[in-house]
A and B are shown apart, each in its own frame.
Chain A
Amino acid sequence: MGEPFVMRALLAGLGLAVIAAPLGCFVMWRRMAYYGETVAQSGLIGIAVGLGLSLNLTLSVLVVTLAVSGLLVLLSRQKLVPVDSVLGILAHAALAVGVIVASLVRGPQVDLMAFLFGDIFAVTPVDLQWVLFGGLAALVAIMSIWRPLLALSLHEDMAAAEGVSVDRVKLTFMIVLALVVAIAIKIVGVLLTIAFLIIPAAAARPLSETPEQMAFFAAIFGMLSVAMGLFVSISIDTPGGPSIVLVLSILFLSSILPSVLRQVSR
């Protein structure tokens, strides 16, 4: 249990849980789950290109997630195809391009599974530095726009009329989201990153009375799930990332259950 790779997995997971918590709340409030999913799936292109050109993977993923975020903004300007369809198209296009590029990369066969579902026990000291410094930058950025972003999430026009610079705040949020997704992909994988963002927030919602409380509970749930998921993973030899997501999902179901029962018994 005390082996370095386990410690690194634990530290990276706990750090990620703290970063993902406030961001995940906003992803949920702003109904950007599918947006986040699309950005995350585009990360596979970054991984494939990064492997092909021997770049730092987090960095190459970040470049791609930023580019895809920009592309999404452009494509959602037109009104003929709704945004969720645009997202669905781009998510799968990105996945297709990612898999194709990965298949073209020469040298050792790219382990697709490891990048789709993450390999938390393969976290390197460099990855850990990304979590620490990148995560810190993301937290500072999100706290600096907390109030205007909250106002924006409640009602964009009202916030704008009250003097919130909508475009600047939205852009900052998108960049921070792209950064956190890039950091998370290396740890929990392309397909589980968004789960790591929104499930803790969703599990925290029924227990919360203020936005800050929700972010706090989300961090607690996230950290708890990382610790329990890794413990399960080591104990019965299940994959790390999926084990964490499974624990998160169980936490969410138990948290939302009372609200469901209240509706059913009505």
Chain B
Amino acid sequence: MQERTDRPLGHVPAHSHDGDCGHDHAHAHTPLPAIRSERTLVSARNLNLKIGSRPVLQEVGLDLEAGEIVTVIGPNGAGKTTLVRVLLGLQKPDAGEIWRRDGLVVGYAPQRFDIDKSIPMTVARFVAMGRATAANAEIADALKEVGAGRLEERQISELSGGELQRVILARALVRKPQLLVLDEPVRGVDYSGEAELYTLIGTLRSEHGMGVLLVSHDLHVVMAQSDRVICLNRHICCSGVPESVAQHPEYARLFGPQTARAFGLYHHQHDHRHDLTGAPQPVRALGRDKPANE
């Protein structure tokens, strides 16, 4: 069987082992790559974070390039939002390295955005908060792009959940970001809106060449648009092209065998199991650099 790398070999060698699940539970320190592709936007290695005594991130590493859509999936409490916050520099990890491109412009649409109704503000003004120099036409364009053109003069306190989600996305876009980070962007958006949204994200990537980091709890809806999927459950369970992740036993374990079976049967040597706390337990020793494709 071919080694399952998400990209042709040689592309960001630091995570070329990601396509398999043979990750190393000895957790040897992997330094940030000395030579970095000039397309790289964010690069992280060995991120560890505990909240109280509970580990939230364990040895998580990630690279994100311009023009690439990377999706982080995982169950509730898997540390998806925490990972995003750490990558954006909003939260400090206990250990690990993060590199961000100098002057990286980020458009961030956070999850659970409950707008404070006590702040009077029009939608247009809210979008303008994303970039002080944004012209009115740019604001209108950003709103049209996400299908919220008619909301421009409405008060943000009057928006429905789905409308607010689009307006937040418009604010992220008006920044002309190099990296767009969307945490559960379809929450509160109806089904047809959901498909539209992902099509839009795909378009943005190809037209503007921005890197996109998506967080989702559902692989199905992001399948078509993602270049790479990272399945997170505090540590990176598996990662790679969407098809390989969908067929991965870890994915099946996290999301139920029904979901996984929909993508067809796939045999894979699983090199670890999880204990009751979800912490990975090695089943047998693996050579660290040995590819796990048996």
Contacts and interface: CB of A to CB of B under 8 A. Distances in A.
A56 interface: no
Nearest to A153: B119
B181 A161 contact: yes
A28 B120 contact: no
Contacts of B85: 157
A26 to B, nearest CB: 10
Interface of B: 85, 88-90, 106, 108-110, 113, 115-116, 118-122, 125-126, 129-130, 132, 155, 168, 171, 175, 181
A29 B118 contact: yes
A213 B88 CA distance: 33
Nearest to B126: A154
A210 B156 CA distance: 11
Given A147-B132, A162-B130, A205 B120 contact: yes
Contacts of A160: 88-90
A214 interface: yes
Given A29-B116, A150-B119, A158-B109, 9 more contacts: A28-B118, A153-B119, A154-B116, A157-B88, A158-B108, A158-B110, A160-B90, A211-B121, A214-B120
Contacts of A211: 119-121
B118 A205 contact: yes
Contacts of B89: 160
Main SS at interface, chain B: loop
B24 to A, nearest CB: 31
Interface string A145-169: 0010011011101101110000000
Contact of A210 (B113, B121, B175): B121
A211 to B, nearest CB: 6
Interface string A184-195: 000000000000
B231 to A, nearest CB: 24
Given A155-B110, A157-B90, A210-B125, A162 B175 contact: yes
Contact of A154 (B119, B122, B132, B181): B119
18 contacts: A29-B116, A29-B118, A29-B119, A153-B119, A154-B115, A154-B126, A155-B113, A157-B108, A157-B110, A160-B89, A160-B90, A161-B181, A162-B130, A210-B122, A210-B125, A211-B119, A211-B121, A213-B120
A117 to B, nearest CB: 28
Contacts of B129: 147, 150-151, 154
A211 B116 CA distance: 12
A29 B181 CA distance: 26
Given A155-B110, A161-B108, A208 B120 contact: yes
Contacts of A162: 106, 108, 130, 175
Contacts of A213: 120
A77 to B, nearest CB: 13
A29 B119 CA distance: 6
Contacts of B115: 154
B106 A210 contact: no
A111 interface: no
